[in-house]
Amino acid sequence: MTPKRRMLRLFALFGFLLVLCPVAPAQSLRMPPHEKFVLKNGLTVLLMEKRGVPLINVFALVKTGAAADPAGQEGLASITAGLLRKGTKSRSAQQFSADFDYIGGSFGADAGADFTNIGAEFLTKDLARGLELFSDAVLHPTFPRNETDKILAQSLDGVKSAKDEPQAVLGLYYGGYLYGSHPYGRPSDGDELSLRRIQRDGVVKFYEANYAPGNTILGIAGEFDAAEMRKKLEETMGVWTARAVANTSISAVPPAKGKRLLLVDKPDATQTYFTIGNIGTAVNDPDRVAIRVVNTIFGGRFTSELNEALRVESGYTYGARSFFDSRKAPGPFEIVSFTKNETTTPAIDLALQVLEKLHKNGVTAEQLASAKSYIKGQFPPTIETSSQLVRRIVVDEYYGLGDDEVNQLEARVDAVTPAIAKQVIDKHFPLDNLVFVLIGKASAIEPAVKKYADKIDQRRISDPGFWPPLAGSQK
Amino acid sequence: MKAIWYRSSALLLLCLLGISALPAWAQSQEFPVSTRTLKNGMKVLVQPDHSIPNVALYIFYRIGSRNEHPGTTGLSHFFEHMMFNGAKKYGPGDLDKVMEANGGSNNAYTTQNVTVYQDWFPRSALSLIYDIEADRIRDLTFDPKKIASEREVVASERRLSVDNNNFGLLDEQLWASAFIAHTYQWPVVGWMSDIEHWTMDDLKHHFEMGYSPSNATMVVVGDISPDEIFQLCEKFIEPIPSHAPPPPVTTIEPEQLGERRLVVHKPVELPIVMIGYHIAQTNDPDFYALNILRSVLFQGESSRMYQRLVDKDQLALDVSSDVEPAFDPTLAIITAQPRQSVDPQACEKAIYEELDKVKGAPISDQELEKAKNGRLVEFYREMRTISGRANTVGTYEVFMGDYNKLFDAAKNYSAVTKEDVQRVVKKYFGANNRTVATLLPESEEKAKP
């Protein structure tokens, strides 16, 4: 159901666990063994045999994502991914769905900022069929005109539907307002303006320019025999023709200076939804484990400072949290919460006080010990299933991270001291330079929230797009 | 999904899987469950799994909003929040702090039927978790200051999931109209005015009514052995005295004799249509045929409703169905979001036509097979995590009356015939048995004369 999907997206942002500093290996937690090889056409393959339930998970990562959408055509990478299953050389969209559904399998494709991901799941007994269907969609999509028109119109209505629910779009406004014309400011699923500009020709060009074996990492995890799988892959994904792909790079953006605030008016809102933050960190930041430890204390769990203050002690909200959405280039850092119209400024004031307190007091030894236990104790269920593991090995491969992200996690977490935490707070958690985005009833909250920034911007939620006002004005 | 309310939203991912779908687990020998009933009446189910060094511990209390009364609606859910706000040994705030400092986390959810407490932790925290659980079952305390602030938290939760969520809002109105007698008519989170007015005495009474150990089932899955769990239960849980369970809910919803319709107006971009049909409770033999029917109609992009409404006629952005586990006859809800400028009644008409097609001619062999395959994969998906298994075992035990029904599910699904599917669609999905709720953009309504 639609709202369920949005909730998943919203809460799926706790980010990756990423580590670097070399310390003695921890014994208790190991990445299960897996093998890596490259097919003749340049496709990188990762295989992990995992017994338990007779399921297989396939996850392909194309190293081009929404950040490569041409300005003004935001959503192109997502539309391209969405169309993979909507018609191939040998199957109509309807036939593809009928075949995949018949084996009880699932198939999905989407684009995030840094990469496109294509995933499938099916029973081990249906391996041959599942793999054939998967490669059919990846290698032989035809992008039928009627299906392209349909998905564009549906996506347009999808944006409207999302705007009916402030929680579903808060991050999109924040991304746009924080990053401006930088590619990370683009809504990955497009907006009411950009989706009208995308044409079938552009989709075909995007596919041809970016979908190639040399630009793709394929992972498979689950109950299978690796030698047999390798043979099957050569027959299916191995016939994908190699072709040159232009390298995509993404520039880093320095954190925003000063304070600015975007107020998005939703006249019927009885609650204000807010994000406060700045540019955060890249996925391979050497401080990533220490950042995770500190953020666990600050806003990354139920007893975090933020949730304690805004929920447990004051009752202002059902939840308050913070996270680093780390990407190839520095991604956003966000403090997120919501509160009824009347307590909008008390809640935001309190969130800012908690942030100031973090900078002033750092973290205690007791808090550090607790956060370390928490991270270590909660980590194993995140590498429990083949669907989790396949995504992790492929994404880590893409970002140039190895198994030590898992194998060294405990040691690296344990190595964080109060002094290191203090350095991380100073370096990575914003204080004086802050970007605010609020969705709420402007007539009720506007006068009070002006105090947070010198620069105030306003728009109505019904205005097309997220930010800037006209996607066409982007260079 | 609207009928499930969580204590904390960040953990939602772990709990979303459709407990309404209980498909086939063929190899029972791979799935040994040990059981014991404690002297105080609490039943304990244990399933060891050493694939990760963690444990999922779920406690199901057979109490939910169906046990409430007008004036104190939402009390079960509010009480669920209060179970984290202080007992004798672990005072206000201590439970979460101690649990997280030892690597554990928790959540809880409340439905119309049950209140479920969930702990996820490394096995090193095992005996601590039992100390915490025993403390709050035995000696919960009620701090007036905590009640005041938690009341605000729940009000915020209601604003998030109902007042500022159109699907939640319409769902609430639908139940309130579809049930005129039975207690499923009010929202699990409670009406806002009830949230503002319940008292400390209401809470104490609720604790006495619903939280007898004999009214609970504990499920433990993970890096443990049955013996160590039973020993911990003997030490921590068994000494807690039992008392009378909640009085039975005796009201039976009278048969609905004609279509009911309701409209909600809001300033929204897109309308929503929800259609609720009264169906049997979870332990009814029709459960399996109903699930197969829902698969044929709604599961995957090749399903009949998706093909018709989303793909071919392009009337809706999405169409889905939802059924929650229930002790009493409940609702199957069909939800569709009409596309921009599509009349919601066009969606309705297409849905009725698709239902009529199944009534008129049996589904194909291929569709039946597809539905069964889909249920099987869905089941494995739930069973591959320790938390998914704890939830599924508990749900079978509580709603089907016996976790062993889990091992019959494969048999029961394969026994479903095309004729069974046709029989249940005729039995439940008629015009007189439905309630139709529509959310309309305000401007449209204002434009009417």
pLDDT of amino acid B408? 84
Cross-chain CB nearest to B302 (options A55, A101, A370): A101
Interatomic CA distance for residues A382 and B131, integer angstroms: 26
Average pLDDT, chain B: 91
The CA R_g of chain A, rounded to the nearest whole Å, is: 23
Interatomic CA distance for residues A136 and A130, integer angstroms: 10
Q: How confident is the model at residue A249 (pLDDT cuts 50, 70, 90)?
A: confident
Task: Tell me the per-residue pLDDT of A422-446, one tens digit each, with 9 for 90 and over.
Answer: 999 999 999 999 999 999 999 999 9
Q: How confident is the model at residue B442 (pLDDT cuts 50, 70, 90)?
A: confident
Is a pLDDT exceeding 70 seen at residue B142?
yes
The region of weakest confidence among A230-239, B46-55, B438-447 is B438-447
- Closest Cα to residue A66, out of A189, A197, A202, A210? A189
Q: What average pLDDT does this structure show over B307-336?
A: 98
- Cβ-contact B401, B19 below 8 angstroms: no
Question: B244 to chain A nearest CA, in Å?
Answer: 33
Mutation choice for B interface testing from A84, A161, A313 by most B CBs within 10 A: A161
Burial label for B441, CB within 10 Å (0-12, 13-18, 19+), is: middle
Residue in the block written with tokens 């949290």:
A321
Burial label for A224, CB within 10 Å (0-12, 13-18, 19+), is: buried
Beta bridge partners of A9: none
Is a pLDDT exceeding 80 seen at residue A7?
no
| B248 Cβ contact partners less than 8 Å away, ≥ 6 residues apart | none
Q: What average pLDDT does this structure show over B106-127?
A: 97
| Shortest CA distance from A339: residue in chain B | B156
Interatomic CA distance for residues B349 and B316, integer angstroms: 12
Q: What average pLDDT does this structure show over B213-240?
A: 97
Is a pLDDT exceeding 70 seen at residue A449?
yes
Interface contact A102-B369, CB threshold 8 A = yes
Interatomic CA distance for residues A110 and A78, integer angstroms: 5
pLDDT of amino acid B30? 53
Is a pLDDT exceeding 60 seen at residue A242?
yes
B 279-338: CB under 8 A from A: 299-303, 307, 310-311, 314, 317-318, 320, 322, 335, 337
Residue in the block written with tokens 């552009």:
A202
Interatomic CA distance for residues B130 and B232, integer angstroms: 7
Cross-chain CB nearest to A53 (options B156, B384, B386): B384
Cross-chain CB nearest to A318 (options B153, B163, B374): B153
Q: What average pLDDT does this structure show over A85-101?
A: 98
Q: What average pLDDT does this structure show over A401-425?
A: 96
- Cβ-contact B425, B252 below 8 angstroms: no
- What is the SS3 assignment for A121? strand
- Cβ-contact B168, B161 below 8 angstroms: yes
- Better-scored residue on pLDDT, A234 or B21: A234
Burial profile A72-95: b = 16 or more Cβ within 10 angstroms, e = fewer: bbbbbbbbbbbbbbbbbeebebee
Q: How confident is the model at residue A171 (pLDDT cuts 50, 70, 90)?
A: very high
Beta bridge partners of A320: A337
**Separation of first and last alpha carbons in chain A:** 37
**Cis, peptide link before residue A468, omega less than 30° from 0:** yes
In chain B, what residues touch A29 (CB-CB under 8 Å)? 53
Question: A396 to chain B nearest CA, in Å?
Answer: 21
DSSP string over B388-439: HHHHHHHHIIIIIS-TTHHHHHHHHHHT--HHHHHHHHHHH--GGGEEEEEE
| B5 Cβ contact partners less than 8 Å away, ≥ 6 residues apart | B77, B80, B109, B110, B111, B157, B161, B188, B189
Is a pLDDT exceeding 50 seen at residue A474?
no
- Closest Cα to residue A275, out of A427, A115, A467? A467
- Cβ-contact A466, A173 below 8 angstroms: yes
pLDDT of amino acid B87? 95
In chain A, what residues touch B1 (CB-CB under 8 Å)? 1, 3-4
- Better-scored residue on pLDDT, A386 or B29: A386
In chain A, what residues touch B121 (CB-CB under 8 Å)? 377
- Cβ-contact A237, A425 below 8 angstroms: no
Burial label for A295, CB within 10 Å (0-12, 13-18, 19+), is: buried
Cross-chain CB nearest to B340 (options A93, A106, A157): A157
Task: Tell me the per-residue pLDDT of B176-218, one tens digit each, with 9 for 90 and over.
Answer: 999 999 999 999 999 999 999 999 999 999 988 889 999 999 9
Copy the structure tokens of residue A354. 């908690």
CA of residue B224 relative to chain centroid, distance: 27
Q: What average pLDDT does this structure show over A6-18?
A: 28
Copy the structure tokens of residue B82. 């209060």
Interatomic CA distance for residues B422 and B383, integer angstroms: 30
- Closest Cα to residue B125, out of B223, B38, B231, B240? B223
Rounded to 10 deg, the angle between the A93-102 and A127-139 helix axes is: 160
Percent of chain A at pLDDT exceeding 70: 93
pLDDT of amino acid B8? 72
Q: What average pLDDT does this structure show over B34-45?
A: 97
The region of weakest confidence among A181-195, A318-332, B17-31 is B17-31
| Shortest CA distance from A323: residue in chain B | B10
Cross-chain CB nearest to B317 (options A4, A157, A270): A157
Size of the A and B interface in Cβ pairs below 8 Å: 221
- Cβ-contact A17, A379 below 8 angstroms: yes
pLDDT of amino acid A5? 31
Q: What average pLDDT does this structure show over A353-368?
A: 97
Q: What average pLDDT does this structure show over A82-111?
A: 97
B 135-154: CB under 8 A from A: 148-154
Q: How confident is the model at residue B27 (pLDDT cuts 50, 70, 90)?
A: very low
pLDDT of amino acid B9? 63
Burial profile A325-364: b = 16 or more Cβ within 10 angstroms, e = fewer: bbbbbbbbbbbbbbbbbebbbebbebbbebbeebeeebbe
Interface contact B164-A271, CB threshold 8 A = yes
- Better-scored residue on pLDDT, A103 or A472: A103
Percent of chain B at pLDDT exceeding 90: 85
B 247-266: CB under 8 A from A: 266
Interatomic CA distance for residues A256 and A179, integer angstroms: 9
Interface contact B159-A270, CB threshold 8 A = yes
Interatomic CA distance for residues B402 and B410, integer angstroms: 15
Cross-chain CB nearest to A312 (options B93, B121, B335): B93
pLDDT of amino acid B10? 46
- Closest Cα to residue A276, out of A441, A446, A430, A458? A430
Interatomic CA distance for residues B304 and B312, integer angstroms: 10
Q: How confident is the model at residue A247 (pLDDT cuts 50, 70, 90)?
A: confident
pLDDT of amino acid B407? 77
- Cβ-contact B274, B434 below 8 angstroms: no
Does residue B434 belong to the interface with chain A, where contact is any CB pair within 8 Å?
no
Interatomic CA distance for residues B383 and B392, integer angstroms: 8
- Better-scored residue on pLDDT, A332 or A12: A332
Is a pLDDT exceeding 60 seen at residue A26?
no
Q: What angle do CA A203, A208, A212 make, to 5 degrees?
A: 130
Copy the structure tokens of residue B115. 């209140």
Burial label for A462, CB within 10 Å (0-12, 13-18, 19+), is: middle
Is a pLDDT exceeding 90 seen at residue B22?
no
Copy the structure tokens of residue A25. 């290996």
- Cβ-contact A217, A202 below 8 angstroms: no
- Cβ-contact A160, B270 below 8 angstroms: yes
Question: A103 to chain B nearest CA, in Å?
Answer: 6
Mutation choice for A interface testing from B49, B128, B152 by most A CBs within 10 A: B152
- Cβ-contact A144, A93 below 8 angstroms: yes
Does residue B375 belong to the interface with chain A, where contact is any CB pair within 8 Å?
yes
pTM greater than 0.90 (yes/no): yes
Does residue B73 belong to the interface with chain A, where contact is any CB pair within 8 Å?
no
In chain A, what residues touch B164 (CB-CB under 8 Å)? 165-167, 269-271
DSSP helix, strand, coil percent of chain A (3-state; round to 5): 45, 20, 35
pLDDT of amino acid A100? 97
pLDDT of amino acid B5? 73
Interface contact B266-A268, CB threshold 8 A = yes
Interatomic CA distance for residues A58 and A216, integer angstroms: 13
Is a pLDDT exceeding 80 seen at residue B26?
no
Half-sphere exposure of A111 (CA within 13 A, CB side): 31
- What is the SS3 assignment for A57? strand
Q: How confident is the model at residue B409 (pLDDT cuts 50, 70, 90)?
A: confident
Interatomic CA distance for residues A429 and A423, integer angstroms: 10
- Cβ-contact A68, A80 below 8 angstroms: no
Does residue B20 belong to the interface with chain A, where contact is any CB pair within 8 Å?
no
Q: How confident is the model at residue B431 (pLDDT cuts 50, 70, 90)?
A: very high
Interface contact B148-A315, CB threshold 8 A = yes
Is a pLDDT exceeding 90 seen at residue B14?
no
Interface contact B307-A156, CB threshold 8 A = no
Mutation choice for A interface testing from B11, B50, B146, B164 by most A CBs within 10 A: B164
Q: What average pLDDT does this structure show over B118-135?
A: 97
The CA R_g of chain B, rounded to the nearest whole Å, is: 22
| Helix or strand (DSSP H, E) at A435 | strand A434-440
Q: What average pLDDT does this structure show over A30-45?
A: 97
Mutation choice for B interface testing from A164, A273, A441 by most B CBs within 10 A: A164
Cross-chain CB nearest to A377 (options B103, B151, B302): B103
- Better-scored residue on pLDDT, B288 or B31: B288
Task: Tell me the per-residue pLDDT of B241-254, one tens digit each, with 9 for 90 and over.
Answer: 999 999 999 999 99
Percent of chain B at pLDDT exceeding 70: 93
- What is the SS3 assignment for B356? helix
Count the Cβ atoms, other than its own, within 10 Å of residue A414. Answer: 17
| B351 Cβ contact partners less than 8 Å away, ≥ 6 residues apart | B275, B305, B309, B319, B334, B336
Interface contact A165-B374, CB threshold 8 A = no
Q: What average pLDDT does this structure show over A8-25?
A: 30
pLDDT of amino acid A469? 52
CA distances from A155 to A198, A395, B442 (A): 11, 26, 23
